[in-house]
Chains A and B, each alone.
Chain A
Amino acid sequence: MAEQRAVHPLLKIAVVCGALILFFLVLSWGQEHWDAYTVRILNLCGIYIGITLGLNLCNGFTGQFSLGIAGFMAVGAYTTALLTMSPAVKQAVFFIQPLIYPLNSIQWGFLPALLMAAVVSGIVGFLVGAPAIRFRGDYLAITTLGFAEIIRIVFTNIVPITNGALGLKGIPPHTNLLWSWGFALVCIAVMVRLMRTTYGRALKAIRDDEVAAEAMGVNLFFHKNLAFVMSAMMAGVGGGLLGNLITTIDPNMFRFPLTFTVLMMAVLGGLGSITGTVISAAAVTIAMEAFRALEEPRVILGLAIPGVPGMRMVVFSVALMIVILFYPKGFMGDREFSLDRVKRLAAGLDRTNTSKQG
């Protein structure tokens, strides 16, 4: 045990801070110097890492298979957009019915708007979760999917707040690499911390055996809602960042395929693995953009290749099927990347060797 504590805590903190500063320096340099396409993809990577971690907290670590993530993203995206758009733009966008007071006259900074998105989506997460967590397995899945659809349909219909099906345009493009990767890092830190506390263990206990967990004194209502609300908050902030990245949103963006995409990232990386999620979310985001080419008509060697809409999702559905049929635990299972294990050893936690058996 003694040699595991060899790294001095202050040194560790210094190294981590140094790495973070360097990381953000590179990102802020890249924001100015990399081409727009690269920056956009990297932004999406950061955002999806955070959102997928949120989904994994609920679906993977706690075993509460929810399909409502798109609904929470919608809540966050609309909250952030409505708080950051300027009153003049709002007036122009809401030409069918004016936006209600006080939303029509306020404009917040990005950070308070994102925090508000976290609060609002957290509340919505609780309202959805409190009744839904009484259901198990597929019933929870379909109920949360239902809630997400209800959110979307409500957003399509409350025109004085959401501008209905036309959606919002002219959202200020606040999101940059610092925001998106800052969000990703906060989510990673929250997950890593949470999973080291007794609360994180209780969540995993619920995943493994709900009845036994309750018999051991784990309050299911509190802990399931904890996972649900945190997951919704991460999705909400992610949605807010997404809205302020692409600058237009409408309710149809937040349909089931969006949830499917995030779910796929989590499953491919391994439900219950933080590192797996990070790698998978980044890889799938990049692949999604790269495969966009499949759907666009282009000329290769003088041959006109028509774009095939739907081809991307065919590829990804097949990837998902292969993983679930042949590697049901994803690429990482519920294990973490070995570097992380080394780090944990350094932190003096000597109970990490979960892979001792096959």
Chain B
Amino acid sequence: MTLEIFLQNAANGITLGSLYALLAIGYTMVYGILRLINFAHGEIFMISTYFAFYGTAIFALPWQVAFVVAIVLTALLGVVIERAAYRPLRDAPRISALISAIGVSFLMANLGLVIFGGRPKTFYRPPIFQVPIELGGVRVVALFFVIPLLTAILLVALNYIVYKTKTGLAMRAAQWDFDTTRLMGVDVDRAISITFAIGSALAAVGGIMWGLRFAEINPNMGLFPGLKCFIAAVFGGIGNISGAVLGGFILGFGEIMLVAFLPGLAGYRDAFAFVVLILILLVRPTGLLGDKQRVKV
């Protein structure tokens, strides 16, 4: 393998890793606060791409506006899902909430199929992202720089919100104990809504960039990228934002490199994430950066 090919793969890996990271954050934040695998997160991601698609294709909005509207609508969608499908089950057994999440996931995927149609749609790609850039003998389009850069900016912003603002404090407090947090005068419901809004907005950014990168969108694209990103979150240490980002990058990079170095195993690409999940849970269930969990008896 030449250096150019390796660099090309590295660029692919970093891009895919950035997208995974953006989605993984949503999983890790929701799991941290509700102890729930938000199965519907992948579908939120899928629907965000359609919001952007319809914004540009049907309503003929300028792409900048269409993308922002899509992000806002997706954030709202996340909040609505939490209200309708998860909040009523907050005191129910956790498995009920998980079943509800699986139900929402299927509902949205199939609703997508009904409304958007099963045939893949071509995502509008503004030319600015397709400007070729040559660096160290490798030619890539501008998008390959935009995606990691934007991801990094969003991460800084997210870290600021979570660690430097009162809202972030409320979100972190709610991770421990709802009742105590309430007694401290924090509106737990609001903190949870904001968590869903932020997680969904990041999924929307990821979705739009996914569209820009892969050009095609379809209603079934949510479930598996979604599950992989949950795995990335577990890998990094569930509930930990930096861990989710790290997990996302490792998974994205690993997947691309697996195919690049061991083309014979290309068919097993989608199994890679699950193998990683099972190994990490067996060897180090708290993930790379996770806190030690204690069993309370």
Binding site for B on A (CB under 8 A): 63, 65, 131-132, 134-135, 137-139, 141-143, 145-147, 149-150, 153-154, 156-157, 211, 256-257, 260, 263, 267, 308-314, 316-318, 320-321, 324-325, 328
Given known pairs A311-B114, A320-B99, A325-B89, the reply for A147 and B36 (CB within 8 Å) is no
A146 touches B268 (CB 8 A): no
Name the distance in Å between B232's Cβ and chain A's nearest Cβ: 12
Q: Which residues of A contact B93 (CB under 8 A)?
A: 328
Interface residue total, chain B, C-beta cutoff 8 A: 46
* A–B complex contacts, Cβ < 8 Å, 18 sampled: A63-B95, A134-B282, A138-B36, A142-B37, A142-B230, A147-B278, A149-B271, A149-B274, A153-B270, A263-B102, A310-B219, A314-B110, A317-B104, A317-B107, A324-B99, A324-B103, A325-B85, A328-B93
Q: Is the interface of A mostly helix, strand, loop or mixed?
A: helix
Q: Is B127 an interface residue (CB 8 A)?
A: no
A142 touches B231 (CB 8 A): yes
20 further contact pairs, Cβ within 8 A, besides A313-B113, A320-B103, A324-B96: A134-B281, A137-B35, A137-B94, A138-B94, A139-B234, A142-B37, A142-B231, A146-B277, A150-B275, A211-B297, A263-B99, A310-B219, A311-B110, A317-B104, A318-B107, A324-B89, A324-B100, A325-B100, A328-B89, A328-B92
Complex: how many Å from CA A48 to CA B30? Answer: 34
B223 touches A309 (CB 8 A): no
Complex: how many Å from CA A260 to CA B100? Answer: 12
B88 touches A325 (CB 8 A): yes
Complex: how many Å from CA A141 to CA B36? Answer: 11
A153 touches B268 (CB 8 A): yes
Q: Which residues of B contact A309 (CB under 8 A)?
A: 113-114, 118
Q: Which residues of B contact A267 (CB under 8 A)?
A: 99
Contacting B278 at CB < 8 Å: which of A131, A320, A325? A131
Complex: how many Å from CA A310 to CA B117? Answer: 9
B274 touches A147 (CB 8 A): yes
Complex: how many Å from CA A156 to CA B94? Answer: 34
Name the distance in Å between A318's Cβ and chain B's nearest Cβ: 6
CB-based closest 5 A-B pairs: A310-B113, A146-B274, A317-B107, A313-B110, A310-B110
A321 touches B278 (CB 8 A): no
Q: Which residues of B contact A318 (CB under 8 A)?
A: 107
Interface residues of B in 168-220 (CB under 8 A from A): 219
Q: Which residues of A contact B297 (CB under 8 A)?
A: 211
CB-nearest residue of chain B relative to A329?
B96
A310 touches B118 (CB 8 A): yes
Q: Which residues of A contact B273 (CB under 8 A)?
A: 146
Complex: how many Å from CA A211 to CA B295? Answer: 10
Complex: how many Å from CA A325 to CA B273? Answer: 32
Q: Which residues of B contact A145 (CB under 8 A)?
A: 227
Q: Is B111 an interface residue (CB 8 A)?
A: yes
Contact with A along B243-284 (1 / 0, CB 8 A): 000000000000000000000000110110111011001100
Name the distance in Å between B244's Cβ and chain A's nearest Cβ: 15
Binding site for A on B (CB under 8 A): 35-37, 85, 88-89, 92-96, 98-100, 102-104, 106-107, 109-114, 118, 219, 223, 227, 230-231, 234, 267-268, 270-271, 273-275, 277-278, 281-282, 285, 295, 297
A157 touches B268 (CB 8 A): yes
B267 touches A257 (CB 8 A): no
Complex: how many Å from CA A321 to CA B103? Answer: 6
Complex: how many Å from CA A326 to CA B88? Answer: 9
Complex: how many Å from CA A65 to CA B100? Answer: 13
B278 touches A314 (CB 8 A): no
B271 touches A154 (CB 8 A): yes
Q: Which residues of A contact B102 (CB under 8 A)?
A: 260, 263
Complex: how many Å from CA A309 to CA B278? Answer: 34
Given known pairs A131-B282, A153-B268, the reply for A143 and B96 (CB within 8 Å) is no
CB-nearest residue of chain B relative to A257?
B106
Q: Which residues of B contact A320 (CB under 8 A)?
A: 99, 103, 106
B110 touches A141 (CB 8 A): no
B270 touches A317 (CB 8 A): no
Given known pairs A153-B271, A156-B267, A317-B107, the reply for A143 and B278 (CB within 8 Å) is yes
Name the distance in Å between A244's Cβ and chain B's nearest Cβ: 27
Residue of A147, A309, A311, A328 with highest tally of chain B CB at under 10 A: A328
A141 touches B98 (CB 8 A): yes
CB-nearest residue of chain A relative to B102?
A260
Q: Which residues of A contact B267 (CB under 8 A)?
A: 153, 156-157
Name the distance in Å between B177's Cβ and chain A's nearest Cβ: 18
Q: Which residues of B contact A257 (CB under 8 A)?
A: 106
Given known pairs A157-B267, A309-B113, A317-B110, the reply for A142 and B227 (CB within 8 Å) is yes
Q: Which residues of B contact A314 (CB under 8 A)?
A: 107, 110-111, 114
B281 touches A139 (CB 8 A): yes
Complex: how many Å from CA A164 to CA B219? Answer: 25
Complex: how many Å from CA A142 to CA B41? Answer: 14
Residue of A134, A142, A147, A157 with highest tally of chain B CB at under 10 A: A142
Complex: how many Å from CA A154 to CA B223? Answer: 19
Q: Which residues of A contact B110 (CB under 8 A)?
A: 310-314, 317
Given known pairs A153-B270, A154-B271, A156-B267, the reply for A310 and B114 (CB within 8 Å) is yes
Contacting A260 at CB < 8 Å: which of B88, B106, B113, B281? B106
Residue of A150, A156, A211, A260 with highest tally of chain B CB at under 10 A: A150
Complex: how many Å from CA A115 to CA B277? Answer: 32
Contacting A141 at CB < 8 Å: which of B37, B111, B271? B37
Complex: how many Å from CA A134 to CA B279? Answer: 12
Q: Which residues of A contact B37 (CB under 8 A)?
A: 138, 141-142
CB-nearest residue of chain A relative to B101?
A138
Name the distance in Å between A311's Cβ and chain B's nearest Cβ: 6
Q: Which residues of A contact B85 (CB under 8 A)?
A: 321, 325
Complex: how many Å from CA A93 to CA B93? Answer: 48
Name the distance in Å between B274's Cβ and chain A's nearest Cβ: 3
Complex: how many Å from CA A267 to CA B95? Answer: 11
Name the distance in Å between B268's Cβ and chain A's nearest Cβ: 6
